[in-house]
Amino acid sequence: MASSYRVAIVGAGPAGYFAAQALQNSQTDELKFAIDMIEKLPTPWGLVRSGVAPDHPKIKTVAKVFEKIATTEGFRLFANVELGKDITVDELEEMYDAVVIATGTSQGKKLGIPGEELPGSFSAADFVPWYNAHPDYVDIEIALDCETAVVIGAGNVAMDVARMLALEPKELDTTDTAEHALEQLHNSAIRKVHICGRRGPEHAAFTSPELRELPKLEHTDVHIDEHQINQAMERASAEGELPKDLKSNLDAMQAIAGAEKKGLERAMYFHFLATPLEIRGDGKVEEVLFGINKVEAGKVISTNETFTIKCGIVISAIGYEAVEIPGLPYEKGKIQNTDGKISGRSSYVVGWAKRGPSGVIGTNKSDSTEVMKLLVENLGTPKSPAELEKKLSERGSLIVTQNQWEKINAHEISKGEPLGKPRVKLVQRNEMLGIK
């Protein structure tokens, strides 16, 4: 007779789905899994829905994999259920043979500089879900009534933010950009976007496919100082043969630097070795003061020289931290764990909540697979069937099931079809919960 185990996965993003897939793939005639996935929002898919830039639809096709996982026998979705509010980790551990935390890192890291709280200063952790129709960020007031924007950070999130601000908005008309954000972007006065990173080009966390897209932008010139890239090449080469990814990145930056500029009204500018020191303004953002750095013996150090960029909006994209869940141990913005196992508990952690905000969507697959191997190795005697549905019903929780999510999904897609869009996203929870 097969041993059947019940596993709760908290968080319906890539890491959560890949954890479910790993468990499904590990099933044998003797080992079976029933998986209950719990998600705070009425909609699943995590950053694939609310994080990936709308002009990158190919990345979102991974959702087809998630839907296959979700319609496999033994899988149930409990969306619109919040950990710590509707149910606790301790209660889940009592009900399930194992609990997997896949809640990601949704809180933006602070710059920690004067002026950061001025109106017009935002975190990418607020701005990105705003343009991606996340229901908790719909009402953020973002004014795009200035000519110049500054984006602080040197990773793909910073580049997504900068590109969304610098694009001709018509290029977003056939995407699933939130309707409220699309209207704002169409009325935007922003024409110049500056991306500023503290370290050198050789240290940037951009990935080359994203960089290689930039010279292809029809309505936006992209500027990188070729001298800075050449110096970075020399510094990196002095340490031996360049790693493949680094060489690809620097080659892509050289291609941008050397690409013909069309003299377009819209432009993006990359600034490396620039540390933000202060955001200045009288009641709102008016300029950012930067310190100029240099690289010596592989270390980034200050030159004590400065420069300023006058702007009306600043968006920081310098990383994310996990929002703490009561009862779980945290350190440096992520859940304390050993290879994904949370000490003293029958809980595990995968994805960004485990390792911090690094890697691309695919990175979560290998990460989740390894942690699920450990989970399977540690399984004991199966517990009696979980009664999550009964407990949530007693508490008056409004559960969105897989079937109900499929209706929301179909509704959004049908709204988008006549407009040539993949979907028109619902942004209010009551709208989502009203789809029957």
Q: Please write the tens of the pLDDT for every residue from 100-118.
A: 999 999 999 999 999 999 9
Mean pLDDT over each residue of the chain, to the nearest integer: 95
Q: What is the mean pLDDT of residues 168-175?
A: 96
CA–CA distance from 236 to each of 228, 230, 232, 430 (Å)?
12, 10, 6, 53
Kindly state the percentage of the chain with pLDDT values over 70.
100
The answer to whether the CB of 212 falls within 8 A of the CB of 180 is no
Q: What is the pLDDT of residue 1?
A: 62
The residue ranking higher by pLDDT, 361 or 166, is 166
Residue 211 CA to residue 271 CA, distance in Å, equals 14
Residue 160 CA to residue 88 CA, distance in Å, equals 35
Over residues 56-98, the pLDDT tens digits come to 988 899 999 999 999 999 999 999 999 999 999 999 999 999 9
The answer to whether the CB of 87 falls within 8 A of the CB of 96 is no
The answer to whether the CB of 120 falls within 8 A of the CB of 143 is yes
Q: Which domains does the chain have, with CATH numbers?
A: 3-106+321-433 (3.40.50.720), 110-318 (3.50.50.60)
Task: Dig out the tokens for 310 from the structure.
Answer: 């006058």
Residue whose tokens read 């935390």: 101
Query: Smallest Cα–Cα separation from 27: which of 7, 42, 13?
Result: 7
Residue whose tokens read 């968006």: 315
Q: What is the pLDDT of residue 66?
A: 97
Residue 384 has pLDDT above 80, yes or no: no
Residue 390 has pLDDT above 80, yes or no: yes
Over residues 266-314, the pLDDT tens digits come to 999 999 999 999 999 999 999 999 999 999 988 999 999 999 999 999 9
Over residues 127-152, the pLDDT tens digits come to 999 999 999 999 999 999 999 999 99
Residue 16 CA to residue 371 CA, distance in Å, equals 11
SS (H, E, C) 113-124: CCCCCCCCEEEH
Residue 375 has pLDDT above 70, yes or no: yes
Residue whose tokens read 């990935």: 207
Q: What are phi and psi of 333, to 5 degrees?
A: 80, 10
- Give exposure, 342-377, as e/b (b: 16+ Cβ within 10 Å): beebbbbbbbbbbbbbeeebebbbebbbebbeebbe
Over residues 356-368, the pLDDT tens digits come to 888 778 888 999 9
Residue 385 has pLDDT above 80, yes or no: no
Over residues 231-268, the pLDDT tens digits come to 999 999 988 888 999 999 999 999 999 999 999 999 99
